[in-house]
Structure 1
Amino acid sequence: MTQKKKRYDPRNRWSAKYRKDVKLWIPSRKIVYLYWFRFLQLAEQDPNRTVDWSQYQGWGGTNAVLGMKFDDWWEEHWIDLFSIENEGDEPKFPLTTKRLKTDGIRYALRIYENRHRGSTWDIAVWFKRNEKRMYFLQFFGKIQEDMDTKTRLRRDGQGNAMDDSSEAYLNTLDKRDVQRKVSRYLKSAEQYLDNVCIGKFP
């Protein structure tokens, strides 16, 4: 059964953009800033990357970002860093685009966090078992853990090699397509990590 995309709910703490108690806005949904925070944590923990903390004045530094839960950190910093008085204003730390593909960022993060699962196919199989929001990823339907991808070659009357299993051949094409898409998400995650190192997101 296909899952339906949930509607925007202004009462939801992750999707609401306006806080009545302080009469301030944020330019994008709170969940986007969670993704920024999480990619910044990953970049700081990566021995092959260096975060330029001079680009993050007011964030609390590495101890705060690595040592605090996001909700606690958010309550301390969101007004100073991201709040605006009117929709359309620019905060101290703006996003690099207003055309955010929020779910794409989320999938890139989730797939990157699970890169230790093994190959791109192993990651895809694990993701299908554990991901609840599959309605945006059309290639999920192609993921079958026990799919037959072993082609069987036979010779025709003229000695030419022919594939004797069209199903296995089609499964191989589907598997390669899934692997390519997982690779793209991993590549996107690497770009987000590079960007947060210099104070930009996404």
Structure 2
Amino acid sequence: MQTALCLSSSAVAGRSPAIKQQRNAAIARPAAARRAVMVRAEGEAEAPKGVEKQGPNMKALKDIQEIMDILPHRFPFLLVDRVLEWEYGKYAVGYKCVTVNDNFFPGHFPQRAIMPGVLQVEAMAQLGGIAMIDPTVAAQQNNFFFGGVDKCRWRKPVVPGDVLMMRVDVTKFNKKFGICKMDAKAYVGEDVVCEAELTLVMGK
């Protein structure tokens, strides 16, 4: 609009071919942009029909209320949202939905939100705690602590919108001394983003 104010009266009237061409292009541009958006939204290659019905909302074996009955962790440090599979003393599968509202993102980092690697390990350890805790024992007796982390590797960043899917497999469990070793892996989609060997110790 500022450019139009500087034009001659003939140009404003649209008699100049160059001005007509520019005006027609400007008018057509929003419509073309709308059509491009519609094509992207409707194109099956980029947005398969029924994509809104897909997602990580899998049936929980243990929902968040049951998880809080087992784990002593609470906001902002409870990092397991659901348990999908579980067998006491053997393994557990669960996940955390990573959201930009997680309290660690404002500081890690303001310009590029990345879930801290140590919290990925913490999330796997919490799932490991669920695998090693005896469900017949009262919740207040189920404290556990980190005993060690070995062979820890981070493969890819975890960012808001990701679903951190985790699996822990118990490799050695000395119930007499309350020491449990396990292999832990975290995935986003099919990609391994974090893996480690964890040692957890039952609290006294």
Q: Same fold (TM over 0.5)?
A: no
**TM-score w.r.t. length of structure 2:** 0.22
**TM-score w.r.t. length of structure 1:** 0.22
Structure with the largest fraction of strand: 2
Higher relative contact order (CA 8 A, sep 6+): 1
> Which structure has the larger Rg over C-alpha atoms?
2
Structure with the largest fraction of helix: 1
